[in-house]
Amino acid sequence: MIHRKTLIRSSGIGAAMLLATVSHLAVAQEAAPPPAQNDQDLIIVTAQRRAELSRDVPISITTVTQDQLTSAGASQLTDIATVTPALRFDSAAAFVQPTIRGVGTAVASSGGGANVGIYVDGFYSPNPLAADFQLMSLKSVQVLKGPQGTLFGRNTTGGAILLTTADPSSDGAGEFKVSYGRFNSLAVQGYATFGVVQDVAMDVEGLFRRGNGFVHNITTGSDRDGRYSNWSVRTGIKADISDSVSLLLRYTHSDTDDPTLLNTNIYVGDDIGGAGTNLPPSLYATKHDEVATGGPTEFLSNNDVIQATLKADLGFADLTSYTQYRDENSLIVEDLDSTAANIFLLHIPVRSKTVSQELLLTSKPGGPLQWTAGLFYFNNKDTWGTRVGTPTAGDPLASIALGGSGTNSKSYAAFADLTYAFTPDLFLTVGGRYSHDRIGDAYYIIPFSGVRTYVPDLKGNKFTPRAVLRYKPSEESSVYASYSKGYKSGILDVGGNTGNKVAPEDRRL
């Protein structure tokens, strides 16, 4: 994708009714720029899984460039909400899940997922504990608003977030950044790309962030309960095997030690009286920069991601293969009562392993019929533990097993999306996706029993169609009517120790 010299723009809003949109309308009350005069001013997006001009795509899109992210001081994915209308990120403990136009969820459970899909360079990232990652060599962000079930599948009832990073290049380049701020916060980032041998290029990027946080523990007097230290390294090697075939291999490792989202306090009001706990004020905090805990709060995460992108020019179409493996390990230690009393210190270790494979076939540009077709496979196995404990002098993270749960979620899908130009100004788009989902090997552990109780599998099939009629009264605007459908896959409530089935969630727009 190419995004240069642009404002943050929103284009193409279709909601099963006729709407007009001007693709160069600037958001955030900024004045609209003059019409594009050259190719550098045009915005290219991949919202329909193929490269197209943003003004020609009948989907509501907000595009944010690298320069805009830098100007906004964005260092984490959640920071893009400050420059993206209708987007916010909700967190429950360290589980971070995006919401678009009010469509989202705060529920985190084994086998669950967000209502907004996150894709990095075409790869789906399903783990809410890894959603607020550090932004590395990011070129642009596309936020697609509304159901995206045809082209992006399950768990996109609210929309999708597409992130694009730089490919390795034989044209040597590098960048180094250092910043320092209040509360002893330090951020160091470096990126380099270079040629290895002819037709083979490599890049590597490292990022380190640490700080003391801003919270004060009124019980211990410590100002360091909010200390964090996060680092990540990402490397890739790209080989142009021939004039028509290329292969990009990537490896990413990230290590997180950041209790920021877990440092909470409690509400005190006349309606509940004294924090509702009958505890003395010295045992609970109410100010935004104060905490009082009965033990340490922790969020530790250690993640490894391996990805392979194969691209081939088949002559009549372009083929892209996305192969991914993710191994993500996390530990949450949360003081649920948010007081200094030793009441309830909860430990949640989570292990998530994901394998995904997608084959994408796209037509060559230029003809009256443009199309995208693909096959998708997804397999995610996660195991959750539940432990409770009281810190001791020898082991501040001491705990005993309480329970746990686990699921194995699989999805198979086939999809196609076609746009036909009846005239240079009149277009019809139709598409559909057929998905088969299965949640199996699901179990929960009855508290303190250590015994797994397995529950019956949850299976389901979904068809998510899309249809758009678009008319271009000018090169800078479109008028269209659209219908699209998305769904969120069903859930087995093993986290609630019941195994009850939660039906899939549908949304039409």
Closest CA to 408 of 332, 508, 489, 339: 489
- With bands split at pLDDT 50, 70 and 90, how would you rate the model's confidence at 393? low
Contacts for 457 with CB less than 8 Å, ≥ 6 apart: 438, 439, 440, 442
- What pLDDT score was predicted for residue 310? 98
What would the pLDDT profile of 187-201 be if each residue is shown by its tens digit? Answer: 999 999 999 999 999
With a CB cutoff of 8 Å and minimum separation 6, the contacts of 272 are: none
Domain ranges across the chain: 9-508
CA atoms within 13 A on the CB side of 262: 28
**Is 33 a residue whose pLDDT tops 60?**
no
Question: In terms of C-beta distances under 8 Å and separation of at least 24 residues, what long-range contacts does 332-335 make, across chains too?
Answer: 332/93, 332/94, 332/129, 332/262, 332/298, 332/299, 333/262, 333/295, 333/296, 333/297, 333/298, 333/299, 333/397, 334/93, 334/262, 334/297, 335/262, 335/293, 335/294, 335/295, 335/297
Q: Is the pLDDT of residue 235 over 90?
A: yes
Query: Residue 172 is encoded by which pair of tokens?
Result: 């040597």
Please tell me the pTM assigned to this model: 0.87
Residue 80 vs residue 247, higher pLDDT = 247
**pLDDT per position as a tens digit, 14-26:** 333 333 333 333 3
- The lowest-confidence range among 29-38, 295-304, 423-432 is 29-38
User: Looking at per-residue confidence, does 276 or 241 come out higher?
Assistant: 241
Q: What letter would DSSP give residue 103?
A: B
Q: What is the pLDDT of residue 502?
A: 87
Distance between CA atoms of residues 398 and 197, nearest Å: 52
Measured CA to CA, the distance from residue 158 to residue 508 in angstroms comes to 10
68: tokens are 């805009």
Rg value, the chain, Cα: 24
474 burial level (CB within 10 Å; 0-12, 13-18, 19+)? exposed
Contact 431, 421 (CB under 8 A): no
CB 191 within 8 A of CB 236: no
What lies within 8 Å, CB to CB, of 3 at 6+ separation is 43, 44, 63, 65, 66, 139, 140
Flag the least confident range among 142-156, 219-233, 386-400, 401-415. 386-400
Cβ atoms of residues 50 and 363 within 8 Å: yes
Token pair of 204 as six digits: 């590597």
Q: How far is CA 157 from CA 116, 145, 153, 481, in A?
A: 7, 9, 9, 19
pLDDT score recorded for residue 445? 92
Percent of the chain at pLDDT > 70 equals: 88
Assess whether pLDDT exceeds 90 at residue 357.
Answer: yes
Q: What token pair was written down for 504?
A: 């899939």
User: Cβ distance 312 to 244 under 8 Å?
Assistant: yes
Lowest-confidence range among 2-16, 134-148, 401-415?
2-16
pLDDT computed for residue 272 by the predictor: 52
Cβ atoms of 165 and 141 within 8 Å: the answer is no
43 confidence band (pLDDT: 50, 70, 90):
confident
Report pLDDT for 14: 38
Query: Does the pLDDT at position 128 exceed 60?
Result: yes
Q: How many residues are present in the chain? A: 509
Asked if residue 404 lies in contact with residue 445, where contact means CB atoms within 8 angstroms, the answer is yes
Q: Is the pLDDT of residue 247 over 70?
A: yes
Model confidence pLDDT, tens digit, residues 91-117: 888 889 999 999 988 888 888 888 999
Work out the pLDDT band at 178, boundaries 50, 70, 90: very high
Coil vs helix vs strand at 504: coil
**What's the Cα-to-Cα distance from 444 to each of 93, 457, 485, rounded to whole Å?**
21, 13, 33
Q: Phi-psi category of 81—alpha, beta or left, where left has phi over 0 and alpha has psi -120 to 50?
A: alpha
- Looking up tokens 């505890």, which residue turns up? 279
Contact assessment for residue 509 and residue 145, using Cβ atoms and an 8 Å cutoff: no
pLDDT for res 330: 94
Q: Does position 278 have pLDDT exceeding 90, yes or no?
A: no
Q: With 90 as the cut, is the pLDDT of residue 139 above it?
A: no
More confident of the two residues 163 and 15: 163
**Mean pLDDT for the stretch of residues 417-438:** 96
394's CB contacts (< 8 A; 6+ apart) are none
What pLDDT is attached to residue 200? 97
- Please tell me the CATH code under which domain 9-508 is placed: 2.40.170.20
